[in-house]
């Protein structure tokens, strides 16, 4: 069975983390940046563990210096996602890397990415942005990111999130930033339950008031939390290939996504940072089908969950639903 042509919804995706290595090298060469240390002999991103992955990720953002650079990045990333069958994509956007959290500079980057996303609609893919603070940059920086999000809320920017090292600082310290975003009408998500355990998921729910959890897979270690997630209807943005590549689980077959789904938890499937983990949405479908016997009906059900949880307006939701229905007719 070929999954490439199936329409797919992806909710957990980092824009810079989707930059093809060759594109980063070309941009670095053009701007005089030395990024040779972040690639292996085959030209792929190289890292030994999660903390080094974060360092390599941030180093790979250095060549992107202007709004035009981000417009080009957005166009390339959306083209690759569309090639893998993605019809709706929510991507994490970081003012930390786009103008250093300055609201005026961020607005220029924001418009550049939005225009590129609008142009990509002709490829059959719709993008929305989740402005995202980097946890290990600290709560004060997160407030500045939330201020940027507030300035551009609506239309293209529909959500606010928290990414980075889950073990940095206390979750409650970021509550103010999330309150700012909530008051601006933005939907909320946060990375938790990836490198930190089940407690981090509980903290995100309690202190940040999120409706979705990025990753969240280590909730499986706490049966009471699994039951709570199912009862709440909290949606997990699960990235199996990322979890396997980073060594959280040894294989797709060992990944808890199927157990979480069987327990009634709402799960979705995403790539996280596709070139870092040598994946795309087609490969995610193929590996999950191989590991758990999932077929087109299973993935259609996952897409329905993702569409219901998407941070988009009702008109966009109807339009994406029509694309899914047309493909499954």
Which active-site residues does the annotation give? Answer: 194
Alpha-carbon torsion (52, 249, 93, 85), positive or negative: positive
CB proximity list for 182: less than 8 A, separation 6 or greater:
160, 188, 209
Q: Which residues pair with 161 in a beta bridge?
A: 132
DSSP string, 80-122: HHHHTTEEEEEEEE-TTTSSTT-HHHHHHHHHHHHHHHHHHGG
Helix count (H) and strand count (E) of the chain? 13, 8
> Cα dist. 121→75, 86, 87, 93, 128 in Å?
10, 12, 9, 19, 12
Q: Which residues pair with 126 in a beta bridge?
A: 88
For 328, the enclosing helix (H) or strand (E) is helix 314-328
> Cα dist. 202→262, 266, 269, 304 in Å?
20, 16, 21, 25
What is the length of the chain? Answer: 329
For 235, the enclosing helix (H) or strand (E) is strand 235-238
């Amino acid at each position: 069975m070929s999954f490439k042509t199936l329409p797919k919804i992806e909710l957990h995706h980092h824009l810079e983390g989707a930059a093809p290595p060759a594109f980063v090298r070309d941009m670095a060469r053009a701007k005089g940046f030395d990024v040779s240390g972040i690639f292996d002999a085959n030209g792929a991103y190289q890292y030994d563990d999660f903390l080094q992955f974060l360092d390599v990720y941030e180093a790979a953002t250095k060549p992107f210096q202007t709004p035009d650079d981000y417009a080009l990045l957005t166009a390339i990333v959306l083209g690759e996602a569309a090639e893998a069958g993605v019809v709706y994509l929510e991507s994490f956007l970081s003012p930390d890397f786009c103008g250093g959290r300055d609201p005026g500079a961020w607005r220029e980057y924001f418009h550049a990415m939005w225009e590129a996303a609008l142009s990509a609609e002709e490829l059959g893919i719709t993008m929305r942005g989740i402005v995202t603070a980097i946890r290990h940059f600290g709560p004060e920086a997160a407030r500045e990111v939330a201020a940027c999000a507030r300035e551009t809320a609506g239309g293209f920017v529909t959500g606010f999130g928290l990414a980075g090292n889950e073990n940095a600082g206390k979750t409650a310290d970021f509550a103010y930033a999330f309150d700012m975003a909530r008051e601006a009408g933005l939907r909320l998500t946060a990375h938790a339950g990836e490198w930190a355990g089940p407690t981090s998921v509980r903290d995100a729910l309690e202190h940040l008031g999120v409706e979705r959890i990025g990753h969240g897979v280590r909730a499986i270690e706490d049966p009471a939390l699994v039951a709570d997630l199912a009862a709440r209807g909290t949606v997990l943005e699960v990235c199996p290939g990322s979890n396997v590549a980073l060594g959280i689980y040894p294989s797709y077959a060992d990944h808890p996504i199927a157990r979480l789904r069987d327990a009634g938890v709402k799960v979705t499937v995403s790539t996280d940072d596709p070139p870092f983990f040598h994946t795309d949405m087609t490969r995610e479908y193929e590996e999950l089908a191989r590991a758990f016997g999932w077929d087109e009906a299973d993935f259609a059900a996952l897409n329905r969950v993702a569409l219901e949880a998407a941070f988009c307006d009702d008109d966009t939701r109807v339009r994406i639903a029509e694309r899914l229905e047309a493909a499954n007719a």
